[in-house]
Structure 1
């Protein structure tokens, strides 16, 4: 029997037989595992139509025991025999429940769990996905649905790309014109929108309940055309570049015009006025307010694709913006280009270059480690969830690569950046850019199943990586996603049969 487990646990041993669920099944809470018991009860009600009694009585055969250890790690142990025993930290219990979600199976109306012994803990501390809500705005309900999907695969960070040339998506009290004037549209003229601070807090709380940390991004100093709609005095006139001009012509998209919403998706033309103190007054206001409503440790400040910005100005900006981010109490995160500058001590770099990087890109990534920081790996040729599966696929782009499922699975984080000490790899992240996305179904199409490949890279031991095993397990997992009502692409190279 194929155990439908993605990511693959650190240690798993299957036994014969199953644990049968019935109306008599109870959930027994031990040592304060109330939140996990409630989450498990909801899962069983949703998937199996059972709402077990939750009790703190002594467990007996046929019970599901949920025991909290009080540890701060993400490990858990799952034993399924005459009864089910789930033991772990609060986060570990949550991840153990996601494992049970994958193991639950129905046969002729009867639900069961295969007998199994699992010990599990993640390989990397940072396991992230990114949702671009700037190019296409997605409401709170859609972001929550995205969190549900990501957390089911044991991702623990949600990077929200909140600002870009096409729109500003978070209300800032001290700078209200940002949402009054710069949030109204999305790419290609799609509807815009923004999150109030209460909306943002709601997203953060929803993520936290699923042990996900929200990482907000204010992309700077480029990708800032939208700021100019609200505060034109701090934004440069758009600077055209050959790539932008060629892309605009080939796609029939408009070029950016100062003071007008930008509805194309070309890059590299915008910048704040780096040498003006009024710009820094603006940035202090914005970063302070974002930091105040973000309980997580990270604040992403961009730093990518500043094609029209002189290198000296860019380096001066990065040095100052990372220092300012640290000053407001957050660990700065920046795209790898920022490694050209003297970043603040401890700044985290996010590498988005090719899986065969240029010498310059590799050097920029290594400099974050040299400054006491670490690196998140998001190689665009492997981990970008918005790339097409095939050249004909109707959604996604292909500027980085065409990424089928095996390509998404078959890479090793420790070897992407030559010369980077493996201990400096904080983790991995799969960005989902939204140029071609409009709906949750569109998100699902690009997210599933490639996010499962990324999840296994982020969680499972490197020694466990095996494409043939993965393709068999992920094929069986399609039934679980269907049961949750989650869509997604079903590549022909996978046998999507019932296990």
Structure 2
């Protein structure tokens, strides 16, 4: 369906809705006399966002025309409709999440017209393509305070993402305080890449993040990466890990990145991967995994717990398979659905229903696709995170001051958009795809400003891949729609990169 206000300019909506029609009539004028009514939580959300966008503080007592917000059960989960004309605006969600997403569509529509604020006359019907729409923030390579994580939640939720994957442990640091294993944060949380300060989340901090996310209809997915990426765990519990296994490739990577190599018992501040491993088959390791999984599951209300499983290059293949079988069973025993990176598909005895997360390329190499299909063949589903499309830590151009280039070189905005989730893994049916996730690894990213610089605008391309129906996706229209969000992102204080692919337009001038 066309998404046009007139024949010249698409509606400034990202991700693209399923159906959006201009009604060919005068729009709705926002002013101080407009009231917002309906669902109480939604009313306060709209008033807050409109105040940030326009400076207007709208009332809540209905007097004539206004904005009506309501929940009308019966539609698809997270779906909504939005109708606006000169007589008012009505947003109806099939559930609270759908109403929330309809509100963000409403906010994107707001435009200044000389001395007035207008919402065009439109009818929108919208629902998500995939149930899981995620962003991942790596807080292990560099640690970020609760306020920064919550700000990222706000930014992602506005683009209709509904999961936040927190990468809580890696070789460089352990970031979550667990009651059964206090040495993890006491001894292994103070380091980061480059010798930068570390840190960790207390149980109260983690609960604040979860509550902030839940208020924005976002589920937190914690990850403890195992059996590799465990050097920090070994700083706290040396008897649980093997001696680092170094290869010629790791030495070459260390030289290329001017990164130190790991040393047994010394906190790691470099970015080489694949050298660490838990000591598999040791009863003490089994106890450690059970303790960590049980504690984290008890702290996490969401249904998922991610156990990593990637880049375990220092782990024997048979040991790796045995460990993943045991770890996924431990997660299930704790009442959660396990998620693991796609390498875990090689383990034949994963707990049935384990979800696989694919981080290979848009065109799979080697046996990446077979390992990924294995999850669906065993009753699980798949989250797609192709690194050369949605890894937000990849440079967007050769001269980008941050980021890496290992995922087939720099990832431009165009490349981050021009992929189709249903075509990545041959033989994987659409119903086996749980959703799309855009990870942000932080080897080179140390501040909130760095997060904004690398995530925006490419996070919008990932949002559209996750939410929008295939028929609604169009690169040329996306570039125009994205440019229409310039003033809104400025109002939100997002320090986004002004990609040359987009004509950024400040319509509030």
Task: Report TM bin, short chain.
Answer: over 0.9
Residues 410-450 of structure 1, C-alpha deviations (whole Å, 9 max, x = no match) = 00111101111221000000000001111111101111110
C-alpha contact 2:80 2:125 (8 A) present in aligned 1: yes
Normalised by the length of structure 2, the TM-score is 0.95
Specify the SS of the correspondent of 2:60.
strand
Q: 1:360 aligns with which of 362, 367, 376?
A: 367
C-alpha contact 1:62 1:83 (8 A) present in aligned 2: yes
Alignment of 1:346 with 2:353, yes or no, is: yes
C-alpha contact 1:78 1:84 (8 A) present in aligned 2: yes
Match of 1:67 in 2: 70
Kindly state the Cα deviation for residue 359 of structure 1 after the two structures are TM-superposed: 4.3
* 1:239-250 matched pairs, under 5 angstroms: 239-250=245-256
Q: 1:445 aligns with which of 442, 445, 453?
A: 453
Between the aligned partners of 1:9 and 1:463, the Cα distance in structure 2 is 10
Match of 2:184 in 1: 178
Specify the SS of the correspondent of 1:130.
strand
Specify the SS of the correspondent of 2:255.
helix
Match of 1:155 in 2: 161
Residues 443-493 of structure 1, C-alpha deviations (whole Å, 9 max, x = no match) = 011111100011011111111221100011111112210121111111112
Specify the SS of the correspondent of 2:375.
helix
Match of 1:462 in 2: 470
* 1:398-413 matched pairs, under 5 angstroms: 398-401=405-408, 402-413=410-421
Between the aligned partners of 1:392 and 1:487, the Cα distance in structure 2 is 18
C-alpha contact 1:410 1:467 (8 A) present in aligned 2: yes
Kindly state the Cα deviation for residue 109 of structure 1 after the two structures are TM-superposed: 3.9
Match of 2:5 in 1: none
Specify the SS of the correspondent of 1:382.
helix
Moved more, 65-74 or 278-287: 65-74
Specify the SS of the correspondent of 2:389.
coil
Between the aligned partners of 1:95 and 1:414, the Cα distance in structure 2 is 24
Specify the SS of the correspondent of 2:225.
strand
Kindly state the Cα deviation for residue 394 of structure 1 after the two structures are TM-superposed: 0.6
Match of 2:29 in 1: 20
Match of 2:103 in 1: 97
C-alpha contact 1:241 1:307 (8 A) present in aligned 2: no
| Divergent runs of 4+, >4 A | none
Between the aligned partners of 2:169 and 2:457, the Cα distance in structure 1 is 27
Between the aligned partners of 2:472 and 2:339, the Cα distance in structure 1 is 30
Alignment of 1:84 with 2:93, yes or no, is: no
* 1:310-389 matched pairs, under 5 angstroms: 310-341=316-347, 342-389=349-396
Between the aligned partners of 1:261 and 1:479, the Cα distance in structure 2 is 44
Between the aligned partners of 1:155 and 1:118, the Cα distance in structure 2 is 19
C-alpha contact 1:70 1:90 (8 A) present in aligned 2: no
Q: 2:11 aligns with which of 3, 7, 27?
A: 3
Match of 1:221 in 2: 227
C-alpha contact 1:300 1:332 (8 A) present in aligned 2: yes
Between the aligned partners of 1:209 and 1:455, the Cα distance in structure 2 is 19
Kindly state the Cα deviation for residue 260 of structure 1 after the two structures are TM-superposed: 0.7
Between the aligned partners of 1:61 and 1:115, the Cα distance in structure 2 is 18
C-alpha contact 1:41 1:51 (8 A) present in aligned 2: yes
Between the aligned partners of 1:429 and 1:61, the Cα distance in structure 2 is 43
Residues 156-190 of structure 1, C-alpha deviations (whole Å, 9 max, x = no match) = 00000000000000001111010000000111101
Between the aligned partners of 2:472 and 2:35, the Cα distance in structure 1 is 34
C-alpha contact 1:475 1:494 (8 A) present in aligned 2: yes
Between the aligned partners of 2:107 and 2:319, the Cα distance in structure 1 is 51
Q: Alignment RMSD, CA only?
A: 1.2
Specify the SS of the correspondent of 2:252.
helix
C-alpha contact 1:241 1:268 (8 A) present in aligned 2: no
Kindly state the Cα deviation for residue 50 of structure 1 after the two structures are TM-superposed: 1.9
Q: Which runs of 5+ in 2 are unaligned?
A: 1-8
Specify the SS of the correspondent of 1:315.
helix
Between the aligned partners of 1:489 and 1:6, the Cα distance in structure 2 is 17
Q: 1:201 aligns with which of 196, 207, 225?
A: 207
Between the aligned partners of 1:130 and 1:280, the Cα distance in structure 2 is 27
Between the aligned partners of 1:332 and 1:271, the Cα distance in structure 2 is 20
Moved more, 478-487 or 172-181: 478-487
Q: Which runs of 5+ in 1 are unaligned?
A: none
Between the aligned partners of 2:89 and 2:221, the Cα distance in structure 1 is 35
Residues 13-48 of structure 1, C-alpha deviations (whole Å, 9 max, x = no match) = 01332200111101121xxx1111111111122222
C-alpha contact 2:36 2:69 (8 A) present in aligned 1: yes
| Count of matched residue pairs | 493
Match of 1:424 in 2: 432
Match of 1:141 in 2: 147
Kindly state the Cα deviation for residue 242 of structure 1 after the two structures are TM-superposed: 2.1
Between the aligned partners of 2:22 and 2:266, the Cα distance in structure 1 is 61
Between the aligned partners of 1:356 and 1:243, the Cα distance in structure 2 is 23
